[in-house]
Structures are given as C-alpha cells and as structure tokens.
Structure 1
C-alpha cells in the first residue's frame, strides 16, 4: 500500500523527533482534539465530541504515564495533568464548553512553556557548541 505524502511526512516527523519535540507534538495534538471536541458540542455531534475528547484524554494520560517522577517539578505537574483529565471527563459527560476551554487554556500554558524550554535548550547547546 502506497502512503500518502502527508502521512509519510508525519510518520517521518514522529520517527525523527527528539523526546522534547514529541512532548510538544502531544500538547499540540491534545489542543487539536479539544477543538474538535468543542466543535462536536457546538454542532451537537456527540460522536465527534466523544471521540475527540477521549483522544485528548489519552494524550493527557500518556503525559502522566511518561512524566519523570524523579524530576522535582513532577509533584507540581501531575496534579495539573489530573485536573485537566477531570475537566475533559466533565466536558464529555456534561457537554460543558467551559470545562473544555479551561482544559485548553491549561494545555496551552504547558505547550507554550515547553516551547520556551526547547528554545532555551537549543540556544544553550548552540552556544556550548560554538565555544568548543
């Protein structure tokens, strides 16, 4: 079976991404699924809503499972991931747009922070490489 060019590009992006870039992809995917879930609620399309909110929950669960528990910040992040997951559950059960918006805002904060971490790490690595 011949892959579509876009799918081949996505597969290659995932296969060559660093762990930090994969985490960023997870945050972006979660936000995409939250948007689709919101669209499902607005259009009263319960299948669209349910499928996409569950995908967002799966991503949050993956972030929780892969969180390095030995990292000092893990004890601060885990409750926030759990809270996001609870918001997603509530949004799905009650068709609650406010819960979805709150979940999206929190995921956006994580994503934006993570982008900044990647940027600072690359800058530091570049400077160290130049000095070597």
Structure 2
C-alpha cells in the first residue's frame, strides 16, 4: 500500500470513528510514538527520538486539554494527574536520553488504552446506558429510607429499592 493510500485510509478511520474509538486511537498512537522513541534511544538516533517523543507529548497534551473537568469529576481529575506526570517524565526522555521514562509512561497509558479499546467496541446506546448508570450511581450516593408509621412498619406504595439504585418510570 502506498503512502497516499495509507494516509487516506487513516483519515477515513478518524472521520468515521466514535468518540471512544478516537480516544483509543490517540492512546494507541501515543504508545506507538513512545516505542519509536525507545528504539531511537537504543540506536542513538537523537532526531528520531525527539520527533517521536514530541509527537507523544503533543497527543498527551491534547488529551489533557480536552478533559471536561466539570462533567468528568474525579475521573477527569485523575486523568489530569496521569497526563501531567506523563508529560514531566517525557521531558527526561529528551533531556537525559532516558528510555526508561518512556517505558514508565507506556506502563501508565497501556491500561487506559485497553479500557478505551473495550469501550470503543460498545454501541452508542450501550455507551449512553453505561454513562447514565454511572451518573445515577454518582447522584444517588445517599440512601433515604421511606417514612415509617408509629409502630415502626413501613407503609408505602413505592417499589422496593436498594441503596444506591434508583428506579424511575
């Protein structure tokens, strides 16, 4: 396959990918760039190391800049910490020609990539349902028991509920 065809195929994948698939692809590309940087360190190819490491840093910075801190809550805050740490470690790749720093970042990002890979395989309706369940769980963190009568028995026409689970019609 020539370079033009490969580029067109890559563009087609990006243009038709779901948001989850796009995030997976960003992680995949970041890890690929870091593997290239490690190889370049081992071959003492400074230019290739810089190019690959800079591309990985750009992608991680993009991931960090697109976090929705308001909607993402604690998960977004945790990802922001991971991205910040990763960017700091990747400075050592160029500054000290340190392949181990790139390996550490790969070890951090690989489980995230794998999670996004699993998410990207789900349909849009499954993703919406999973998001709704997560939001419902987050919103109903306190359980309120139904009112009781004077002898301690509960009288309610409501459906029985479990703590942390909301039932809506």
TM-score by length of 1: 0.86
Q: CA deviation at 1:114?
A: 1.6
User: For 2:21 and 2:120, how far apart are their aligned partners in 1?
Assistant: 8
In the alignment, which residue of structure 1 is the partner of 2:52?
52
In the alignment, which residue of structure 2 is the partner of 1:115?
117
For 1:7-46, what aligned pairs fall within 5 Å after superposition? Answer: 7-46=7-46
Query: How far does the alpha carbon of each residue in 1:89-118 deviate from its partner, in whole angstroms, 9 at most, with x for none?
Result: 111111112111101111111101222333
User: For 1:104 and 1:92, how far apart are their aligned partners in 2?
Assistant: 16
- The worse-fitting range, judged by mean Cα deviation, of 21-30 and 106-115 is 106-115
Give RMSD over aligned pairs. Answer: 1.9
Query: How far does the alpha carbon of each residue in 1:6-65 deviate from its partner, in whole angstroms, 9 at most, with x for none?
Result: 211111111111111111110000011001111110000000000100000000000000
Q: Among residues 88, 91, 110, which one is paired with 2:90 in the alignment?
A: 88
In the alignment, which residue of structure 2 is the partner of 1:105?
107
The alignment partner of 1:112 has SS state of helix
User: For 2:118 and 2:16, how far apart are their aligned partners in 1?
Assistant: 20
User: For 1:17 and 1:25, how far apart are their aligned partners in 2?
Assistant: 9
Superposition misfits of 4+ residues, deviation over 6 angstroms: none
The alignment partner of 1:92 has SS state of helix
User: For 2:36 and 2:81, how far apart are their aligned partners in 1?
Assistant: 25
Structure 1 position 62 matched with structure 2 position 62 = yes
Rg: which structure is higher? 2
User: For 1:113 and 1:58, how far apart are their aligned partners in 2?
Assistant: 21
User: For 1:116 and 1:30, how far apart are their aligned partners in 2?
Assistant: 18
Quickly say closer, same or farther: Cα 1:124–1:19, change in 2 above 3 A.
Answer: closer
Query: How far does the alpha carbon of each residue in 1:57-94 deviate from its partner, in whole angstroms, 9 at most, with x for none?
Result: 00000000011111121111101110011111111111
User: For 2:102 and 2:10, how far apart are their aligned partners in 1?
Assistant: 27
